[in-house]
Amino acid sequence: MTKSLMHKSTKTQSGTPKQNKSLLQGRRDLLKLAAALPLAGGLAACASTTAIAPEKSATSTATSTPKPTAVRKPVVVSTWEHGLPANAAAWQVLSQGGSALDAVEQGVRVPEADPAVRTVGYGGYPDAAGEVTLDACIMDHQLNCGSVAGLKRIKHPISVARAVMEKTPHVMLVGEGALTFAKAQGFVEENLLTEQSKQDWLAWREQGKAKSQINIENHDTIGMLALDSQGHLAGACTTSGAAYKLPGRVGDSPLIGAGLYVDQDVGAATATGLGELMIKTVGCHLVVELMRQGLNPQQACQRAVERIAAKIPNAAEAQVGFLALRVNGEVGAYCLHGGFNYAVQDASGATLTDAIHLLPGVVA
Ligand code: SD4
């Protein structure tokens, strides 16, 4: 059940130089700039960044080391601004000694139910056929995990994913099978296409747009990571996926390792942006393994973004962002283009922070 939203005072701190905002005014400029950038070499990291040894094929000019973050628990972190009310719901669980697993489930149910959040759950952008199809996964500190993909007409895919984890011997259910399972578990079918989403889809169809894209208008998946007072980690990720995607398309968000990964020995990571890029690099597993090798959360996220930028042609046409939480409570994030932010909640309150980015410019 979703608990009341009572998050504490919110302060916003920016990790991105203000002047970057004037460099790019929109997606068109962004794409022009991207085309002019030599992706596999010569990328200069933006804003202050870290002194990690570069990827073989990437040439980040990283120079400074990030400030160490205070060790803390419990703590919850989420992607994007809608992470603030989601974290607040998770905090209700964590602050009362509840588990990280319960916290992340309760937390992400908030944007799943909010029609104003157009990229998660109810009210999310539909696929090219006008159907809202949802992807979600959840993972605990013992590598237990559950996932659903292409789930229709169920408002809370994260809770179905948890049921897959707890009540079946499987990790992932898709499409009709996932819906049949959800109904058998007592989840109620309902229409998820709001009038607003329907009108937007009709307008998109009218314009005859040929392909779905992740851009500044539609890249707002929620990924949430929590560390509870027992010291246990858990994570959840839920989305309606790429707007107007081909029916049947599955992104990174329900894929363990791509959109979410949790390893109690090390930490957890989640992702947002064009899922195909995270799938190709198994991005969140990569971030966790980089932390295992000794990088801090921000350095690990940076390295994963650099990997994507260096190895995937035209990656700069999309956005990707990673968010990581180390088992000691340390938080880090990094993204390809400016404009990705993340919410953190702990006993000291709630913050929203702009992630440091690799390419110049901010997509507002
Ligand atoms: C996907 N990663 O389906 C998701 C979409 C998203 O922020 O927007 N993430 O590719």
Provide φ and ψ at 256, rounded to 5°. Answer: -60, 125
Single out the residue of 100, 66, 114 nearest to residue 332, CA to CA.
66
308 within some domain: yes
- Residue-level pLDDT at 167: 98
Give all strands of the β-sheet with 267-273 in edge-to-edge order: 260-263, 267-273, 320-326, 331-335
Q: How do the pLDDT tens digits run along the chain, 364 residues long?
A: 333 222 333 333 333 333 233 222 333 333 333 333 333 333 444 544 445 665 544 334 333 444 445 568 999 999 999 999 999 999 999 999 999 999 999 999 999 998 888 888 888 899 999 999 999 999 999 999 999 999 999 999 999 999 999 999 999 999 999 999 999 999 999 999 999 999 989 998 988 665 555 454 455 899 999 999 999 999 999 999 998 999 999 999 999 999 999 999 999 999 999 999 999 999 999 999 999 999 999 999 999 999 999 999 999 989 999 999 999 999 999 999 999 999 999 999 999 999 999 998 776 5
Task: For residue 272, report the distance from its CA to the centre of ligand 1, in Å.
Answer: 5
In the block, which residue shows the tokens 């949430």? 224
152 within some domain: yes
For CA atoms 45, 46, 50, 51, the dihedral sign is positive
273 within some domain: yes
158 within some domain: yes
Identify the CATH number of the domain in which residue 85 sits: 3.60.20.30
User: Strands, DSSP E only, in the chain?
Assistant: 10-13, 75-79, 133-139, 145-152, 172-174, 222-227, 233-239, 260-263, 267-273, 320-326, 331-335, 341-346, 349-354
Domain that holds residue 250: 72-357
- Count of the separate structural domains present in the chain: 1
For ligand 1, mutation pick of 81, 252, 260 (most atoms within 8 Å of CB): 252
256 within some domain: yes
CB burial class (10 A; 0-12, 13-18, 19+) of residue 131? middle
User: What is the residue type of 141?
Assistant: H
- Residue-level pLDDT at 93: 98
333 within some domain: yes
76 within some domain: yes
pTM (2 d.p.): 0.83
45 within some domain: no
- CA-240 nearest atom, ligand 1: 3
Alpha-carbon gap, residue 220 to 198, rounded angstroms: 18
Is residue 49 among the annotated active site residues? no
Note the helical H segments in 168-264. 175-184, 195-206
CB neighbours of 74 closer than 8 A, spacing ≥ 6? 91, 94, 95, 100, 103, 226, 227, 228, 229, 346, 347
Alpha-carbon gap, residue 88 to 60, rounded angstroms: 36
- Residues facing residue 362 across a β-bridge: 338
Residue from 16, 221, 239, 281 carrying the catalytic annotation: 221
Q: Is 219 in the pocket of ligand 1 (CB under 6 A)?
A: yes
Alpha-carbon gap, residue 299 to 77, rounded angstroms: 17
